[in-house]
């Protein structure tokens, strides 16, 4: 199973944090675990294994993804001061002068 295929299992089609991945898979595992599932037992077993395999692939990908701690990279991925955001995008625009 590829990483994009693994992401389709829980319905992740954009960005997701590891915390979000854990939460989504936790919900799916509760639904499909054979001890509690209301689905066909054989289908539950096959689906649970598929969910577990996809989870392992995505967590391994996330745990081995290199993170940057450079200030400019951190700003790209976080919410920062709205004035800083505005100025970084529109501050030099003559319309605002």
The DSSP annotation for 69-84 comes to --HHHHHHTS---HHH
d(CA 2, CA 8): 10
Half-sphere exposure of residue 81, counting CA atoms within 13 Å on the CB side? 4
Model's pTM, two decimal places? 0.67
Q: Dump strand ranges (E) for 1-97.
A: none
List, for residues 45-81, the tens digit of each pLDDT value: 999 999 999 999 999 998 888 877 787 776 665 555 6
Q: CATH topology for 3-67?
A: Helix Hairpins (1.10.287)
Domain ranges of the chain: 3-67
């Amino acid at each position: 199973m590829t990483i994009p295929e693994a992401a389709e299992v829980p319905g992740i089609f954009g960005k997701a944090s590891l915390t979000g991945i854990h939460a989504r898979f936790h919900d799916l595992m509760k639904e499909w675990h054979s001890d509690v599932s209301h689905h066909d037992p054989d289908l539950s077993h096959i689906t649970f294994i598929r969910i577990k395999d996809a989870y392992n692939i995505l967590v391994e990908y996330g745990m081995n993804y290199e993170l940057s701690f450079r200030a400019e990279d951190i700003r790209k991925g976080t919410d920062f001061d709205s004035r800083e955001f505005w100025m970084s995008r529109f501050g030099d625009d003559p319309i605002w002068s």
